[in-house]
């Protein structure tokens, strides 16, 4: 009994020290959220501007959500050449989606690629990359909307030829729907403005997120075969596209960046079951590509090694403390008060500091994420680690045939609707 109590206390104490060091270093390396503009001069004065191809893979998307996505792209203030490739990846609700296609097909910037069957997001992206030719490629998820200046701000960052990829700041477009969407929105803010911002100090954001990430075509072209044919234990890997492509960019010697004022809003799960399925898929992807990234760490800043190790070891220590604490409670009917006190204190201190730094009281409510992390996400990550070979997508569904709605509809002009050979 004593051994269980001692193990729980030791594990949570080491975890607290590790977390304190990790968060302190993040604060040190995180760039100000409301810092200087990405570019010191307006982008219009910096010629010639690179052509940008926006790729939007879509599978069984709600027509209203897709329409809002395309409207946000059509409304970009980018003064350079902008082309949009919308790839319908064998959607079963194509009859409803075609009405959205018809609306935007009048805009000469839009091209629609209709794949006869579902091949997955990765191959859908590659189909559009093969038909496009812009110097920069912007991947946008079909359930995301981007602020009017996102392309301009990401292009400004990509003016540096050493940068291979850049991402913007993610928010939840349906934040106000449920308690869960509010927590996820805060989770995204923390992931972007703590984790990614600190990594970007060293030009090594470890995952340029799928809802909106820009890539340099010359770099992308050299990596496309590796990206398309990713295997894990001899099986094709059908998810984790964004993290895998980011790691490939870093391995090729390019910088990957975070642009905090390029704002992207994406639809997040509003119920616990879809959220946990999404987290399981992401956990498997993270573990797979962490193994791929290990050889990189020696050539990167020591903080990035600590970041990768801390994010792997930290949850293991926390899990060990919880399991041994629960075992001690079951066998002795005595609560592990030190473990409970440490976990509660760490959650309250972190949420208070974030609320102060962000000047947003809503982050005090993020303390509710602690029980979700302890009793759902940590066991889920353990399960993910034990089932890494499972490539089920887990979150695909058949969308209903609903009317086109949502999003600003901009008057548009003529275009092409194409299908691959």
Q: Is the pLDDT of residue 178 over 80?
A: yes
Indicate whether 14 and 42 sit together in one domain.
Answer: no
Most confident segment among 43-57, 140-154, 296-310? 140-154
In a domain, 251, yes or no: yes
Distance CA 416, CA 395 (A): 31
Which residue, chain included where needed, has tokens 């000047």?
359
What does the pLDDT average to over 284-294?
A: 82
Provide the mean pLDDT of the chain.
Answer: 87
Indicate whether 91 and 12 sit together in one domain.
Answer: no
Indicate whether 254 and 366 sit together in one domain.
Answer: no
In a domain, 279, yes or no: no
Indicate whether 40 and 19 sit together in one domain.
Answer: no
What pLDDT, on the 0 to 100 scale, is given for residue 288? 82
Indicate whether 119 and 238 sit together in one domain.
Answer: yes
% of the chain beyond a pLDDT of 90 = 70
In a domain, 267, yes or no: yes
Distance CA 265, CA 185 (A): 10
Total domains present in the chain = 2
Indicate whether 15 and 42 sit together in one domain.
Answer: no
* CATH value at residue 114: 3.90.550.10
In a domain, 295, yes or no: no
In a domain, 223, yes or no: yes
pLDDT band at 237 (very low <50, low <70, confident <90, very high): low
In a domain, 371, yes or no: yes
Q: What pLDDT, in 10s, does the model give residues 206-221?
A: 999 989 999 999 999 9
Indicate whether 361 and 249 sit together in one domain.
Answer: no
What pLDDT, on the 0 to 100 scale, is given for residue 3? 87
What pLDDT, on the 0 to 100 scale, is given for residue 308? 86
pTM: 0.88
In a domain, 289, yes or no: no
Q: What pLDDT, in 10s, does the model give residues 64-106?
A: 999 999 999 999 999 999 999 999 999 999 999 999 999 999 9
Identify whether the C-beta of residue 335 lies closer than 8 Å to the C-beta of residue 30. no
Domain membership of residue 19 as a residue range: 2-26+304-386
Indicate whether 194 and 318 sit together in one domain.
Answer: no
Indicate whether 19 and 65 sit together in one domain.
Answer: no
Indicate whether 8 and 146 sit together in one domain.
Answer: no
In a domain, 282, yes or no: no
Indicate whether 40 and 11 sit together in one domain.
Answer: no
Contacts of 94-98 with CB under 8 Å at 24 or more apart are 95/401, 96/63, 96/399, 96/401, 96/402, 96/403, 96/404, 97/58, 97/61, 97/63, 97/66
Q: What pLDDT, in 10s, does the model give residues 319-374?
A: 999 999 999 889 988 889 999 999 999 999 999 999 999 999 999 999 999 999 99
pLDDT band at 181 (very low <50, low <70, confident <90, very high): very high
What pLDDT, on the 0 to 100 scale, is given for residue 389? 74
* CB-facing half-sphere around the CA of 200: CA atoms within 13 A: 27
Indicate whether 48 and 77 sit together in one domain.
Answer: yes
């Amino acid at each position: 009994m004593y051994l269980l109590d001692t193990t729980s206390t030791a594990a949570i104490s080491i975890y607290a020290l590790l977390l304190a060091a990790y968060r302190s270093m993040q604060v040190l390396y995180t760039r100000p959220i409301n810092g200087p503009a990405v570019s010191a001069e307006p982008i219009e004065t910096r010629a010639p501007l690179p052509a940008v191809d926006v790729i939007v893979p879509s599978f069984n998307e709600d027509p209203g959500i897709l329409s809002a996505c395309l409207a946000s792209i059509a409304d970009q203030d980018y003064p350079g050449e902008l082309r949009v490739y919308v790839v319908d990846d064998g959607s079963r609700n194509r009859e409803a989606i075609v009405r959205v296609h018809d609306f935007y097909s009048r805009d000469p910037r839009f091209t629609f690629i209709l794949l006869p069957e579902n091949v997955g997001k990765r191959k859908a992206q590659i189909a559009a990359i093969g038909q496009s030719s812009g110097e920069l490629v912007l991947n946008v998820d079909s359930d995301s909307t981007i602020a009017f200046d996102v392309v301009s701000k990401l292009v400004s960052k990509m003016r540096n030829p050493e940068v291979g990829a850049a991402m913007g700041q993610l928010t939840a477009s349906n934040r106000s729907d449920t308690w869960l969407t509010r927590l996820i929105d805060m989770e995204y803010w923390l992931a972007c403005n703590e984790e990614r911002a600190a990594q970007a100090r060293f030009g090594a954001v470890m995952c340029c997120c799928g809802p909106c990430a820009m890539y340099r075509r010359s770099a992308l072209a050299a990596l496309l075969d590796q990206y398309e044919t990713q295997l894990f234990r001899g099986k094709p890997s059908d998810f984790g596209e964004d993290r895998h492509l980011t790691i490939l960019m870093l391995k090729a010697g390019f910088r990957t960046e975070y642009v905090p004022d390029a704002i992207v809003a994406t639809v997040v799960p509003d119920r616990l079951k879809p959220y946990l399925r999404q987290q399981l898929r992401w956990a498997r992807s993270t573990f797979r590509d962490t193994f791929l990234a290990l050889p990189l760490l020696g050539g990167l800043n020591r903080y990035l090694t600590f970041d990768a190790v801390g994010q792997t070891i930290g949850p293991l220590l926390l899990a060990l403390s919880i399991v041994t604490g629960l075992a001690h409670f079951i066998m002795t009917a005595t609560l592990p008060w030190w473990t409970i006190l440490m976990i509660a204190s760490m959650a309250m201190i972190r949420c208070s500091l974030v609320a102060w730094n962000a000047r947003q009281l809503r982050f005090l409510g993020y303390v509710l994420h602690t029980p979700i992390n302890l009793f759902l996400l940590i066991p889920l990550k353990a399960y993910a680690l034990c089932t890494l070979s499972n490539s089920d997508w887990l979150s695909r569904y058949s969308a209903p045939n609903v009317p086109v709605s949502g999003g600003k509809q901009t008057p548009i002009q003529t275009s092409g609707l194409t299908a691959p050979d």
